[in-house]
């Protein structure tokens, strides 16, 4: 049986999306049917189409079910000493950003969900296609821009892999320093939209919970109603406004006042109203609402350009938000 071991670069990737990348000869609907029919198991168990994979999971496809047109992919036939699956930049980049605006200094894009902004470190640089790979290919001179151009050239802020929406990129070092200063002084205004579980406690609120690294490693954790006592904890403030409240979910406009890792996701989780589709921060208080991705979108970004003018750019809500 063809077997794949999930490595760090595919952590939190949805099962059907992972197999679609590994089986280009099969359509996504065919793969979803295979999963529903029980022809695919994860670590020996039958699972749902919407299962998010974890580092170390073993994905097995029943004999005769795998159709792959890519001869470079060689799934192992035993679960012992399984070779890691590596997605390299040689593979076709299927997720591409859309250009909203650009001039000689800046680039404003609409990032799709599922596209990683940049690799976590240089060793993983070519493990997965990222926004940075696209930037370097389209704008070769950007390689030298930034505070760590060998890893994240031109990147002045980031969106999580499963978050979509508007981002700004610096095309020159002058623009990079100028925008970085605005971000550090909280002058750049960001507005997100998210579907959250449950009935929000109020139509408007400000979440002021410090955020630090969780004890279980990869996650972040909010510290509700407590002062910063750990040197690794950081002040984090999130303003929200309910756009639409339904019986079991709410569409929420979110205005983060700080920019901590996973801030919106962690703050909503701390309120017990996690983002629908979030693979990391979920509550057992709610029956899962099916979604094809995490329903968090960077809708609007406002900043001052190098000429001193106020600029606002928006990205419309994706179709998947119509749930």
One-letter-per-residue 3-state SS of 64-122: CCCCCCCCCCCCECCCCCCCECCCCCCCCCCCCCEEEEECCCEEEEEECCCCECCCCCH
Q: Would you say residue 127 has pLDDT above 80?
A: no
Q: What is the pLDDT of residues 74-115, one digit of tens each?
A: 343 333 333 333 334 444 446 899 999 999 999 999 999 999
pLDDT at 166 (0 to 100): 98
Q: Which of 18, 87, 8 is nearest to 47 (CA)?
A: 18
Answer yes or no: pTM beyond 0.85. Answer: no
Integer Cα distance of 257 and 119 in angstroms: 25
- Mark residue 93 as left, alpha or beta (left: phi above 0; alpha: psi -120 to 50; beta: remaining): beta
Q: Would you say residue 42 has pLDDT above 50?
A: yes
pLDDT at 258 (0 to 100): 94
Q: What is the pLDDT of residues 177-196, one digit of tens each?
A: 999 999 999 999 999 999 99
Our answer to whether residue 110 is catalytic in this structure is no
Q: Would you say residue 45 has pLDDT above 50?
A: yes
Contact 188, 298 (CB under 8 A): no
Positive or negative torsion for Cα 81, 86, 91, 97: positive
- Catalytic annotation, pick one of 10, 110, 160, 233: 160
pLDDT at 89 (0 to 100): 43
Integer Cα distance of 27 and 24 in angstroms: 7
pLDDT at 47 (0 to 100): 83
- Mark residue 272 as left, alpha or beta (left: phi above 0; alpha: psi -120 to 50; beta: remaining): left
Q: Locate tokens 């979108």: which residue?
A: 297
Kindly state the percentage of the chain with pLDDT values over 90.
58
Q: What is the pLDDT of residues 250-273, one digit of tens each?
A: 999 999 999 999 999 999 999 999
Contact 182, 188 (CB under 8 A): yes
All structural domains of the chain, each given as residue ranges with its CATH number in brackets, are: 3-61 (3.10.290.10), 98-185 (3.30.2350.10), 191-297 (3.30.2350.10)
Integer Cα distance of 199 and 1 in angstroms: 45
Greater confidence (162 vs 69) lies with: 162
pLDDT at 21 (0 to 100): 78
């Amino acid at each position: 049986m063809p077997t794949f071991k999930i490595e760090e670069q595919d952590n939190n990737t949805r099962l059907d999306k992972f197999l679609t990348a590994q089986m280009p000869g099969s359509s996504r609907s065919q793969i979803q049917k295979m999963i529903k029919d029980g022809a695919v198991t994860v670590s020996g168990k039958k699972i749902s189409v919407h299962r998010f994979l974890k580092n170390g999971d073993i994905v097995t496809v029943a004999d005769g079910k795998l159709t792959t047109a890519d001869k470079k992919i060689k799934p192992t036939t035993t679960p012992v000493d399984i070779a890691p699956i590596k997605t390299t930049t040689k593979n076709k980049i299927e997720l591409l950003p859309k250009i909203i605006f650009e001039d000689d200094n800046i680039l404003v894009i609409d990032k799709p969900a599922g596209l990683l902004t940049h690799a976590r470190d240089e060793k993983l640089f070519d493990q997965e296609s990222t926004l940075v790979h696209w930037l370097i290919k389209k704008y070769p001179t950007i390689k030298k821009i930034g505070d760590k151009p060998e890893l994240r050239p031109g990147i002045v802020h980031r969106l999580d892999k499963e978050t979509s929406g508007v981002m700004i990129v610096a095309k020159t070092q002058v623009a990079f320093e100028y925008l970085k200063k605005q971000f550090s002084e909280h002058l750049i205004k960001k507005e997100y939209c998210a579907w959250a579980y449950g009935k929000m406690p109020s139509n408007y609120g400000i979440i002021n919970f410090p955020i630090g690294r969780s004890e279980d490693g990869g996650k972040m954790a909010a510290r509700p109603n407590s002062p910063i006592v750990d040197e690794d904890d950081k002040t984090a403030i999130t303003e929200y406004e309910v756009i639409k409240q339904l019986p079991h979910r709410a569409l929420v406009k979110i205005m983060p006042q700080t920019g901590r890792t996973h801030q919106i996701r962690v703050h909503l989780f701390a309120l017990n109203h996690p983002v629908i589709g979030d693979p990391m921060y979920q509550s057992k208080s709610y029956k899962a609402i099916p979604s094809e991705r995490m329903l968090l979108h960077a809708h609007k970004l406002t900043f001052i350009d190098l000429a001193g003018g106020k600029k606002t750019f928006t990205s419309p809500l994706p179709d998947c938000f119509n749930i």
